[in-house]
Amino acid sequence: MGGFGLRRAERICYNRIVMNIFLTGGSGYIGSVTTELLCDGGHEVVVFDNLERGHLEAVDPRARLMVGDLRDARCVRDAMRAVRPDAVVHFAAYALVGESMQNPMMYFDNNLGGGLHLLEAMLQTGVRKIIFSSTCATYGQPEVMPMTETLPQKPTNPYGESKLMLETALRWEQERRGIQPVFLRYFNACGATEKYGEDHEPETHIIPNVLKVALGQARAVPVFGDDYETLDGTCIRDYIHIVDLARAHILALEKEVAGPFNLGTGSGYSVKQVIETCREVTGHEIPVEMSPRRPGDPACLVAGAGKAREQLGWTPVRSDMKTIVQDAWNWHQRHPRGYRS
C-alpha cells in the first residue's frame, strides 16, 4: 500500500511531522476552519472543492485549491494522483436534512456516490487514512442519553442515511484493503474563528438565526416548539465550537486510530438557554416568536464523548455557550452579510 509511513518520516522538520492532506470541502464551514488550523500547524493542505455551496473567501490562502467535483470520478482520481497525500479529510457533502427529505437522490448521488469516488481514488493511489465528517444524525432518535458510539444507527432522513452508507463502505474497505477510516460524528457545530464563520444559504441553524435578530436583519427568532419533555419545553442540543471540532480532526490524523468518535461536550443547552446567552452577549433583547415544532426534531441529543477524550486525547476548550456565542457574534458583526460583506 501507499507510502504513508515513509513520506511522513521523510518530512519531519523541527521535530514535527508535516502532513500532506487532501481536504475536500475546504470552502465550507467546518472545512475552512480545519484547513486554517492545519495550516497554522505547518501542514500542507490541498483543498478539493466544487465551490457550489461554500465560499472562495473561506479557503485559507495558505492551502492550494483544486476546483473539482466528487461526482466526477476521473477528476477525483487525477487530483489524488497529482497530490499523493498522506491522508484525506473529507467534509464535502450536502448537509440539509429538510432538503434531503425533498430530494433523497441528490443526497445519495453527492454524499454517497461522490464519497465512493473518493474512496476509489484513495485505493488506486495507495492512500490509507481518511477522516470522515459524519454526524449524530446517523443514530436517528435514540431513547438513551447521552449517546455513545455503540448505539444502533437508525437514521431517520436521507442525509443521515447517506453518511451512514459511506461509513459502511469505508468499514468494509478497512477489512478488505486496509483503509484506515475515522468517523467523526458531530453534534451541533457552532462558533467561529477570527477569519472564518458560518454562512449558509438558507440559514437554518439556531445561533446564526438569533444573531440575525441582534443585527437587525430579522424582527424575531422562531422557537420551534416549547412543549417538549425537557426542563423548559424547548429542544436540547450539544453545541460544539468549530475550533474544538477542527482540533479533533488533527488529533485523529496524528494518532493511530480508526472507527467512530462522537464529538460533543456531553452537556446540553435548550433553545431558550441559547437565546438567553445571545441576549447577554449582544445586549439585544431578541424577541422570540413561538412556532410549531419543526418536523423531525428530536427533543434531546447529547453526546457521550468519553471515547474521543480517552482515545484521541481530545478535550473541548472553547465550547462553553458564552464563548461560542461571543466568537460567532464577533464574526457576524464583522461579516453582517456573510462572506459577501
Which residues make up the interface to ligand UDP (CB under 6 A)?
Answer: 188, 204-206, 209, 221-224, 235, 237, 271, 294, 297
| Nearest-angstrom CA–CA distance, 239 and 320 | 8
Smallest distance from ligand UDP to CB 140, Å: 13
Smallest distance from ligand UDP to CB 188, Å: 5
Shortest CA distance to 139 belongs to which of 207, 106, 187, 182?
187
CA distances for 175 relative to 23, 151, 179, 269, angstroms: 24, 21, 8, 39
Classify residue 62 by its DSSP letter.
Answer: T
Query: 3-class DSSP state for residue 32?
Result: helix
| Nearest-angstrom CA–CA distance, 242 and 311 | 20
> In this structure, which amino acid lies at residue 230?
T
Q: Give Cα 332 distance to the centre of its chain.
A: 19
Q: Per the residue annotation, which of 29, 107, 159, 186 is the catalytic one?
A: 159
Smallest distance from ligand UDP to CB 181, Å: 23
Three cell numbers, residue 45: 493542505
Smallest distance from ligand UDP to CB 189, Å: 9
Number of CB atoms found within 10 A of residue 220's CB: 13
Q: Which is nearer to ligand UDP, 70 or 97 (CB)?
A: 97
Smallest distance from ligand UDP to CB 73, Å: 31
Q: Residues 6 or more apart from 112 whose CB is under 8 A from it?
A: 162, 165, 166, 169
Q: Which is nearer to ligand UDP, 255 or 294 (CB)?
A: 294
Q: Which is nearer to ligand UDP, 38 or 301 (CB)?
A: 301
Q: Which is nearer to ligand UDP, 205 or 318 (CB)?
A: 205
Smallest distance from ligand UDP to CB 262, Å: 14
> What phi, psi does 41 have (nearest 5°)?
-80, 5
- DSSP string computed for 242-259: HHHHHHHHHHHHHS---E
- DSSP string computed for 74-115: HHHHHHHHHH--SEEEE--S---HHHHHH-HHHHIIIIIIIH
Q: Which is nearer to ligand UDP, 34 or 135 (CB)?
A: 135
- Judge whether 139 counts as a catalytic residue: no
- DSSP string computed for 259-293: EEEEES-S--EEHHHHHHHHHHHH-----EEEEPP
Q: Which is nearer to ligand UDP, 59 or 210 (CB)?
A: 210
Catalytically active residues, by annotation? 159
